Amino acid sequence: MKLWMKVAAVVLLVYVHTAGLLWDVPRLDILNESIRAVYFHVPMWFGMILLYCLSVYYAVRYLRNPLEEYDIRSVEFAHVGTAFGILGLLTGMLWARYTWGAYWHGDPKQTGSAISLLVYLAYFVLRASLENQEQRGRLSAVYNLFAFAAMIPLIWIIPRLQSSLHPGSGGNPGFRAYDEDMDASMRRVFYPAVIAWFLVGYWISTLRIKIRKLQLIHINS
């Protein structure tokens, strides 16, 4: 990871926290000030999806050319992606407590995200129960790809079929609904937030990958 990316991540996060907590936000019924969750909750999902995409990308590369480095990359991106997913779920639950009245509401979006987390938790269980390194890499790469393809319909299709209270679906006020008549002030914070959180996730992953590679050299020597 380049130095300027790390600097950008820190600068953008400072900006997102200051602006996200202090700047004016549109006044909307029900949502009120909780609309600021857009800056902290939604980027978690963007980060999770992007990190999982990277994990799948390295799973494919591992299948084509079984180098242990690809396996390490794949699993570490999945680790950090899952951490982002858990944070996304927790921030979403906190938000739901104040907007919908309960931490768990059974909303299709909540169900879908919980299921996608289950998929990757199953992936870690699979890795833990395979001893041979080469076999572990290959089988978990296959499951990673397969489960990712099965997860996509859950996250994108099913919530659109069912009625959902989640902002942005149905007739509920969401991000898309007001960004045309309101000024673009929210987007000025939201897009940097997505980039910054993803950079942080990528940064953590590269650190973990480095540690794993050092451990590998230590074991082999």
Partner 1 sequence: MHGSWLNAMNNLVALLRKEFTLELRRKSVISGIGLYLFSLVFICYLTFNLRQNVISPATWSALFWLVILFSAVNTVAKSFIGEKPGSLMYLYMVASAQEIILTRIIYNFILCLLLGLLGYGLFTLFVDNPVADTSVFMAGLVLTCLGFSASLSLISGIASKARNSNVLMAVLSFPVLIGILLMAIRITKNALDGLEAAASRDEMLNLVGINVISGALSYLLFPYIWRS
Q: Give residues in contact with partner 1 (CB under 8 A).
A: 63, 115-116, 118-119, 122, 125-126, 129-131, 135, 138-139, 141-143, 145-147, 149-150, 153-154, 157-158, 161
- Which of residues 123 and 202 has its CB atom nearest to partner 1 in the complex? 123
Give exposure, 136-158, as e/b (b: 16+ Cβ within 10 Å).
Answer: bbbebbebbbebbeebeebbeee
168, 108 Cβ separation under 8 angstroms: no
- Which of residues 60 and 204 has its CB atom nearest to partner 1 in the complex? 60
- Which of residues 138 and 208 has its CB atom nearest to partner 1 in the complex? 138
Alpha-helical (H) ranges within 129-184 are 133-152, 158-161, 175-178
115, 92 Cβ separation under 8 angstroms: no
> In Å, how far from its chain's centre is CA 106?
20
CB of 19 to partner 1, least distance (A): 38
- Which of residues 132 and 220 has its CB atom nearest to partner 1 in the complex? 132
- Which of residues 149 and 184 has its CB atom nearest to partner 1 in the complex? 149
CA angle in degrees (0–180, nearest 5) for 54-189-30: 105
CB of 169 to partner 1, least distance (A): 16
The dihedral built from the CA positions of residue 192, 197, 202 and 207, taken in this order, carries a sign that is positive
CB of 123 to partner 1, least distance (A): 8
Q: Which of 96, 94, 88 is nearest to 112 (CA)?
A: 88
CB of 47 to partner 1, least distance (A): 21
Say how far apart CA 103 and CA 96 lie, in whole Å: 6
CB of 105 to partner 1, least distance (A): 17
Say how far apart CA 127 and CA 76 lie, in whole Å: 12
- Which of residues 23 and 146 has its CB atom nearest to partner 1 in the complex? 146
CB of 125 to partner 1, least distance (A): 6
Collapse the DSSP code of 164 into the 3-class scheme (helix H, G, I; strand E, B; otherwise coil) and give the result. coil
Which amino acid is present at 4?
W
- Which of residues 32 and 162 has its CB atom nearest to partner 1 in the complex? 162
CB of 216 to partner 1, least distance (A): 22
